[in-house]
Amino acid sequence: MTLRLELRGIRKAYPAVVANDAVDLRVEPGEIHAVLGENGAGKSTLMKIVYGAVRPDAGEMRFDGRPVQVASPAQARQLGISMVYQHFSLFDTLTAAENVWLGLDKSMSLAEVTRRIGELAGTYGLEVHPLRPVHSLSVGERQRVEIVRALMTEPKLLILDEPTSVLTPQAVERLFVTLRQLAQRGCSILYISHKLDEIRALCHRCTVLRGGRVTGVVDPAQETHASLSRLMIGAEPPPLQHRQANTGAPVLRVQRLALPRSSPFAVELRDVDLTVHAGEIVGVAGVSGNGQQELMAALSGEDPRAAPGSVTLFGSDIARAGPRARRRLGLHFVPEERLGRGAVPTLSLALNTLLTRTEPLAAAGWIRQRAMRALAQRLIERFGVKAGGPDAPARSLSGGNLQKFIVGREIDAQPKCLIVAQPTWGVDVGAAAQIRQALLALRDAGCALLVVSEELDELFEIADRLVVIAQGRVSPPVAVRDATVETIGAWMSGLWPGGPKRMAGEDLPAGEAAHA
């Protein structure tokens, strides 16, 4: 059989690191092939080489049996290679159809593209609203737009980078059905993920990278989590030490918080009640786009429209306070978006510490450069961040390594209250275990933590109590020991007693009916 893709001896070196070192990869037609590795192992660089976004220093690439040199993504698409990046590349102010149309060769009109989106959505079960502006779509909906855009080119090889990092279990199952359909039609799929259970359930073969080199090519269905972890990081991740919570006094209180929509496509928050005590982790579950972003903005201080008294910290009214005032009281925040909100892409890691840390600042606002770089270096070492040192720009890090730096920056600040959105988004199993253990250590030290995550397994692993957000309302809390995945899954559709789906005469917001 002629291979769809063959890489031989691929090498790519940067000044601070060898990203790929003599990498071989073989993918057959109709094969779903995983590429597995810890953060910084060279996965993304290898995929960018295949897609023409990066030129290799050495090695050979063959596509459908012919030697090729892919000089650009445009040339890759002409060959039949499409890629969906982990960080979406969509224009927020344009509609889904306009974004898809911009990525094509203009042989079809916008009206034809809109019609074709509907056909593809029906064929593959991808619910896409072509006329909605992208800024009004949830993360899961945006990902479907990216996939439809890739499918419009009728690819022979589809590259997916961390496709399920912020999807719910239901959305993941729908995505897997689509991918299996594509494979049956002869499309080859390169699947990059840190989620071992997904790789074992979906993929036919798996190439494992560590430190830029191939450590094994295996059938993932015949492997265990432990054996894949050993290939990927050289060891099994340590088990979490999760002791019984020793809860203290209330730290963060949200009482009857109500916020109207900030835009026509935002979610209205309605009568949100929530309490987080010292020494506990409260997890927030929910389908993406049900008010998580609006709630985080109200709690972090980005949206200061809350009614006086509706948000308190240690008894102080912070409903109208800004982020800096909240940090002075001990509240720190990790946003969902890494680049642009969690870090400034063009600034060094050292300068990015100043976004939330004041230790390197002297009187009158002078920056103590040595202290700033020392702080960044400490974070790099403590959280195992693979970077070219404190002066490396944030955008030069892999997504998982930047996530470790941002989460580490806030954990290291020893906050009294920490709000975290998607704490282990896109990080490998070893790093995820490290971050979760650090969150538990903060809890055991008396910190109050509110963790918003799309991964139910993560919430069940680290949280003491769970709430669910649906259509801008928050469920009553439930102790993790009393909760089940089935119950929380039903609540994610608003089906708790008195939940929004129980309200007579109410319709789901636009786009949300697809998730329920």
pLDDT of residue 319 exceeding 90: yes
Q: Are 377 and 369 within 8 A, CB to CB?
A: no
List, in order of start, the domains of the chain with CATH numbers.
Answer: 5-233 (3.40.50.300), 238-330+415-516 (3.40.50.300), 340-414 (no CATH)
Q: Of 160, 145, 153, which is closest to residue 50 (Cα–Cα)?
A: 160
Distance CA 94, CA 91 (A): 6
pLDDT higher than threshold 90 for residue 127: no
Residue 510 has a pLDDT of: 35
Split at pLDDT 50, 70, 90, the class of 315 is very high
Q: What is the pLDDT of residue 511?
A: 37
Residue type, 84: V
> What is the band of 280 on the pLDDT scale with cuts at 50, 70, 90?
very high
CA neighbor of 192 nearest in space, from 383, 5, 48, 74: 48
Residues 6+ away with beta carbon under 8 Å from 311: 252, 253, 254, 255, 257, 298, 299, 317, 318, 319
pLDDT of residue 336: 84
DSSP-derived 3-state class of residue 22: strand
pLDDT score recorded for residue 204: 97
Distances (CA, A) of 475 to 325, 338, 420: 29, 28, 19
pLDDT at 144: 82
Q: Are 145 and 89 in contact (CB under 8 A)?
A: no
Report which DSSP code applies to 508.
P
Q: Does 516 or 108 have the greater pLDDT score?
A: 108
Contact yes or no for 319/311 (Cβ under 8 A): yes
Band of residue 429 on the pLDDT scale cut at 50, 70, 90: confident
Give 209-239 pLDDT, tens digit per residue: 998 999 999 999 999 988 988 888 887 777 7
Kindly report, residue by residue over 377-400, the tens digit of the pLDDT. 999 999 989 898 999 999 988 878
pLDDT tens-place string over residues 67-123: 999 999 989 999 999 998 866 778 888 999 999 998 787 788 999 999 999 888 877
Residue 512: per-residue pLDDT: 38
Q: What is the average pLDDT value for the chain, to the nearest integer?
A: 89
The pLDDT of residue 503: 40
pLDDT at 337 over 90: no
Does the pLDDT at position 141 exceed 50?
A: yes
- In 65-204, beta strands by DSSP E: 66-68, 81-84, 157-161, 188-192
pLDDT band at 362 (very low <50, low <70, confident <90, very high): very high
Query: Which residue carries 């209205």 as its tokens?
Result: 268
Give pLDDT tens digits for 409-421: 999 999 999 999 9
Mean pLDDT is lowest, of 37-46, 95-104, 139-148, 311-320, for: 139-148
pLDDT band at residue 498 using 50, 70 and 90 as cut-offs: confident
The residues near 449 (Cβ < 8 Å, ≥ 6 apart) are: 276, 280, 281, 282, 417, 418, 419, 420, 439, 442, 443
Rounded average pLDDT over 259-280: 93
127: left (phi over 0), alpha (psi -120 to 50) or beta: beta
Mean pLDDT of the region 277-284: 98
Instruction: Show the tokens assigned to 74.
Output: 């445009």
pLDDT of residue 480: 95
DSSP 70: -
CB 474 within 8 A of CB 465: no
Q: Is the pLDDT of residue 515 over 60?
A: no
Rounded to whole angstroms, the Cα distance separating 333 from 29 reads 45
Q: Model's pTM, two decimal places?
A: 0.75
Per-residue pLDDT at 139 exceeds 70:
no
Confidence of residue 296 (pLDDT cuts 50, 70, 90): very high
Give residue 312's pLDDT: 98
Looking at residue 289, its pLDDT comes to 78
Q: Where is average pLDDT lowest: 224-238, 255-269, 283-297?
A: 224-238
Query: What is the structure's pLDDT at 506?
Result: 36
